[in-house]
């Protein structure tokens, strides 16, 4: 069974940093691209970032480009999202998702709250 | 960036009725269009990929169609568990984008 478990969320002040992790199991992690998708409270889904299966290619939404960095450690079956210069509009539940023909598996999400 | 516009924003229907959800793109792209269902407090679930292919375990009452800029998700006969929010997503161009969602509520 595919499992994705996010961690690292919490309360951070504007301008601060957080590093999210997503531990994967139940599939060959190194064979799949992975993405982060976020959802602000009461709002819709927003794709944030993606990384290729071997980590050589990365992609970002314009809203986070230059502030967030996606990476992965295939030896540890873990996906990361380094978030710097956080702003209030970054407040959201952050999901990691396995990219197959669509996002066919999702974690339960980790809440990031940016507030002073 | 490809903007996806979903309509209607809310669809009020009764169990057993047919639901037709629309997703319109700001520009044409390959048929890498996916549909997701999300219930309150849960992560989204993939329903349809490549515009018309059902994901694993998705009931046959869910179907997708369309190409170019106009796509449709149809639920042939609503079951009680189908009342939820539905999102379309394009995977043909970077950045990936989602539509704003359609809420299917009980009438």
What pLDDT was estimated at residue A23?
A: 98
Which residue, chain included where needed, has tokens 């639901």? B19
- State pLDDT tens for residues B2-33: 999 999 999 999 999 999 999 999 999 889 99
B1 has a chain A CB within 8 A of its CB = yes
- State pLDDT tens for residues B26-59: 999 889 999 999 999 999 999 999 999 999 999 9
- State pLDDT tens for residues A73-85: 999 999 999 999 9
Q: Which residues of A touch B38 (CB under 8 A)?
A: 45
Strand ranges in A13-109 using DSSP code E only, listed in sequence order: 18-25, 33-39, 45-51, 58-60, 68-73, 78-83, 92-99, 103-106
Q: Which residues of A touch B101 (CB under 8 A)?
A: 44-45
Q: Which class for A61: exposed (0-12), middle (13-18), buried (19 or more C-beta within 10 A)?
A: buried
Confirm if A50 and A99 have CB atoms less than 8 A apart. Answer: yes
SS3 B20: strand
What pLDDT was estimated at residue B30?
A: 83
């Amino acid at each position: 069974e595919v499992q994705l478990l996010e961690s690292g969320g919490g309360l951070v002040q504007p301008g601060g940093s957080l590093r999210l992790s997503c531990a994967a199991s139940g599939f060959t992690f190194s064979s799949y691209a992975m993405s982060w998708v976020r959802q602000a409270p009461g709002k819709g889904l927003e794709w944030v970032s993606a990384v290729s299966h071997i980590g050589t290619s990365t992609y970002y939404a314009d809203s986070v480009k230059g502030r967030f960095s996606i990476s992965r450690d295939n030896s540890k079956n873990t996906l990361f999202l380094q978030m710097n210069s956080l702003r209030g509009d970054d407040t959201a539940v952050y999901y990691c998702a396995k990219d197959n023909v669509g996002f066919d598996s999702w974690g339960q999400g980790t809440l990031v709250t940016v507030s002073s | 960036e490809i903007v996806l516009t979903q309509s209607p924003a809310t669809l009020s229907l009764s169990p057993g009725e047919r639901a037709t959800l629309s997703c319109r793109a700001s520009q044409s792209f390959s048929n890498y269009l996916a549909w997701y269902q999300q219930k309150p407090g849960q992560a989204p679930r993939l329903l349809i990929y490549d515009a018309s292919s059902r994901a694993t375990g998705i009931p046959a009452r869910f179907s997708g169609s369309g190409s170019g800029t106009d796509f449709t998700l149809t639920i042939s006969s609503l079951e009680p568990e189908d009342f939820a929010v539905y999102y379309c997503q394009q995977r043909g161009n970077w950045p990936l984008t989602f539509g704003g969602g359609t809420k299917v509520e009980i009438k």
